[in-house]
Chains A and B, each alone.
Chain A
Amino acid sequence: NAGVTQTPKFRVLKTGQSMTLLCAQDMNHEYMYWYRQDPGMGLRLIHYSVGEGTTAKGEVPDGYNVSRLKKQNFLLGLESAAPSQTSVYFCASSYVLSTDTQYFGPGTRLTVL
């Protein structure tokens, strides 16, 4: 039981490049989330999904897109990376949207030059 996994762990991009972050969970959770963590700002929700084929915007969605084609996977895409997107990205999943524990992946450290 791997829990929540994220690939890659580290990535350096140049401004304007694109990339996709992959999150996978093996707990059969309905809900999945993408957060970004910046110093002194805690975690901010980018997008989330309440089930296969559905996605919704969080607090800071601009510049990101997501897809949930399979229940166990949640992809985060950056179409044209900007230095302001340098951050640590965390994926999480849970059974219930508001009251249940969220299980987090180990994070992806992204640097945009």
Chain B
Amino acid sequence: AQSVTQLDSQVPVFEEAPVELRCNYSSSVSVYLFWYVQYPNQGLQLLLKYLSGSTLVESINGFEAEFNKSQTSFHLRKPSVHISDTAEYFCAASGSARQLTFGSGTQLTVLP
């Protein structure tokens, strides 16, 4: 079964600074990778996903993630964060079991 590790439970960062949220997954022959975002008191929403092809995937609000097979990582980055990016971010993976396995989440707090 897949396992997903998010290395940081809390990441505080000042507004307009860059941020990286780290995610590692257990190795699998084929794997699909996702980042979901959860704003306070809401359900999760898809931010971006990697299925195949280009290893760099982007979201519409400036986030990007790079699939690194050799390091089994799928870190999420944004060059300049806004207050509105404050949320909890979940990395997830799907492999041969065809179920999504979620990481424990990273709380991103953007400070003014």
Give the interface of A toward B (CB within 8 A): 4, 35, 40-45, 48, 58-59, 90, 92, 97-99, 101-102, 104-107
Contact = CB atoms under 8 A, between A and B. Distances in A.
Q: Which of B4, B45, B98 counts the most chain A CB atoms within 10 A?
A: B98
A48 B98 CA distance: 11
Contacts of B34: 101
Interface residues of B, number: 23
A40 B99 contact: no
Interface string B48-74: 010100000000000000000000000
Contacts of B111: none
What are the 7 tightest A-B residue pairs by CB atom distance, in nearest-first order? A104-B43, A42-B102, A98-B98, A98-B94, A43-B102, A42-B104, A104-B44
B103 A101 contact: no
